[in-house]
Amino acid sequence: MQSYDTLILGAGTVGLSIAIALARRGRRVVAFDPHRPPHPFGSHHGETRMLRVLYSEGVAYTTLALVARETWMALESEAKAQGVLPEGRVLFHPVGVVGIMSADAPEARRLEQARREYNLSGGPCESLESRRRFPHIAVSTGEIAYWDPFGGILESDLCMETMRNMAEKLGVHFVFGGPLADISVKARAARVTWDTQTYEGEMLVLAAGAHAGAVLRRYFPEWQAPVVPVRKAVAWFPSVRPVSPDLPAFYCYDGDHAFYGFPDMGTGYKVGQHDGGEPCDPGALDRQFRDRDATPLEAWVRRRLPLASPRADRGQVCMYAMTPDDHFICDRHPCWPHVYAAVGLCGHGFKFAPALGEWIAEEIADGRERQELRLFRTRRFA
Ligand SMILES: Cc1cc2nc3c(=O)[nH]c(=O)nc-3n(C[C@H](O)[C@H](O)[C@H](O)COP(=O)(O)OP(=O)(O)OC[C@H]3O[C@@H](n4cnc5c(N)ncnc54)[C@H](O)[C@@H]3O)c2cc1C
């Protein structure tokens, strides 16, 4: 049997971030995953992820986003210096993010609250100014374009590849393939049987993303840590007119719905709907991009993106890992303090991963409670 300090189940976005932060602290880490990241079987694929700093979902997320932004940029510099990131490529494009919403929407009020609390620049733009600055998105009468200058676009596939390479350089051991055959926990140790091999660690971290609900139900049914996988689709729309490559990413609270997207960075405008989606079985996910997936996105693009063709030229299916209150789960098991779950990132967790990785590593390795993670404890479900 092989022994490590920490076993991590899931080498995806958050699993890799935790692995890197623990390895930097000198911990011996092994991470298990059925697939080598980046891959299309979890929540992280599809070229790009938005990084918003001004958050309407709670001021705590702005703290996380500010730290994460710095950490992504530090990772980018380090990866360049070490030759891990190819010359001329970047992880983060600091192009900002613009949010479209009714001027009297509660989200607009909460964004202002976050902006004032952190004394950040940005804020609502007048409609004439927004037409000039954000020609790729239509703002209707009575709406504002809320400008977040610290936001931007992460190249998610490249981020994942870079994190995996950095983790390898730091000595993290990966075991891909599997499957997971068993987990057992005793006082001060946990064991994972992966395929036919058993590994022991002082600490076990669950970071299996949209697949975490099944793992938790099977091995830790007593733990109130509900994670529901939800099927989501995104689509790409060709440009009808070339525009500046520095346009911001965008999101839009449109009535009861929330859409988001990315300007054409060479592969067309990418658009998704944040709300909705059907709960699914990750093992039997319908991965086909269907007409019913395209229809709401095409209708939205027709109304909102004047510089894009309203016909999707390709689409992809992915999963969100949702919790009942849309907040993440980062917590120790109530009875086994050496078992930690970092799951349920609710369709907006990519940007935060390096900050979560750092703080979770502090909790695990240094025994320090990070107050910033208080919102994500599982006792809220009890
Ligand atoms: C369409 C879409 C758009 C999104 N847009 C944004 C955005 O713009 N900004 C943003 O911040 N976030 C966004 N997100 C959310 C973000 O991508 C996710 O929150 C984040 O990637 C989740 O990270 P994770 O580590 O929990 O999951 P993943 O990165 O999916 O990692 C989980 C890993 O666990 C592995 N695994 C599965 N089963 C097992 C098992 N039994 N044992 C071990 N490992 C296992 C999987 O193979 C996978 O590699 C989006 C998500 C989707 C789907």
- Going from N- to C-terminal start, the domains of the chain cover 2-44+157-227+325-381, 97-149+229-322
Angle between helices 106-117 and 59-81 in degrees, nearest 10:
60
Whole-number Å distance between alpha carbons of 102 and 100: 7
Query: Under 8 Å CB-to-CB from 39, ≥6 apart: which residues?
Result: 45
Residue range 214-223: average pLDDT?
A: 97
Q: Which of the four pLDDT bands, split at 50, 70 and 90, describes residue 130? A: confident
Based on the number of CB atoms within 10 Å of its own CB, is 369 exposed (0-12), middle (13-18) or buried (19 or more)?
exposed
Give the residue among 68, 48, 80 at the shortest CA–CA distance from 165: 80
Residue 64: name the closest of 382, 374, 307 by CA: 374
Sign of the torsion formed by the C-alpha atoms of 314, 319, 325 and 331: negative
- The predicted pLDDT at position 149 comes to 96
CB count within 10 Å of CB 81 equals 9
Q: Which is higher by pLDDT, 258 or 244?
A: 258
Dihedral sign from CA coordinates of 35, 39, 40, 45: positive
Q: Per residue in 35-65, pLDDT tens?
A: 999 999 999 999 999 999 999 988 889 999 9
Considering the four listed CATH numbers 1.10.10.10, 3.40.50.300, 3.40.50.720, 3.50.50.60, the one that applies to the domain covering 2-44+157-227+325-381 is 3.50.50.60
Task: Point out the ligand 1 atom lying closest to the alpha carbon of residue 272.
Answer: 1
C-alpha dihedral sign at 61, 206, 168, 282: negative
Atom 50 of ligand 1, nearest CA residue? 347
Evaluate if residue 300 carries a pLDDT over 80: yes
Question: Rounded distance, CA 103 to CA 123, Å?
Answer: 12
Is the Cα torsion angle 13, 16, 22, 28 positive or negative in sign? positive
In ligand 1, which atom is closest to the CA atom of 234? 1
Q: Which CATH architecture has domain 97-149+229-322?
A: 2-Layer Sandwich (3.30)
Q: Which helix (H) or strand (E) holds 152?
A: strand 152-155
What is the whole-number distance in angstroms between the Cα of residue 43 and the centre of ligand 1?
A: 3
**How high is the pLDDT of residue 45?**
94
pLDDT class of 346 with cuts at 50, 70, 90:
very high
Helix (H, G, I), strand (E, B) or coil at 243: coil
317: phi then psi, degrees, rounded to nearest 5: -115, 140
Q: Is residue 159 in contact with ligand 1, taking CB distance under 6 Å?
A: no
Closest CA to 5 of 56, 52, 17, 18: 18
Residue 358: closest CA among 77, 70, 21: 21
- 52 touches 196 (CB < 8 A): no
Confidence band of 87 (pLDDT split at 50, 70, 90)? confident
**Portion of the chain with pLDDT greater than 70, in percent:** 100
DSSP 3-state of 240: coil
Q: Is the CB of 231 under 6 A from ligand 1?
A: no
With the most atoms of ligand 1 within 8 angstroms of its CB, the residue from 20, 195, 211 to mutate is 211
Nearest CA to ligand 1 atom 13: 348
Amino acid at site 324? P
- 6: helix, coil or strand? strand
* Residues whose CB is less than 8 angstroms from the CB of residue 24 and which lie 6 or more positions away in sequence, other chains included: 170, 361
Cα separation, 119 vs 51, whole angstroms: 18
Q: How many CB atoms lie within 10 A of CB 36?
A: 13
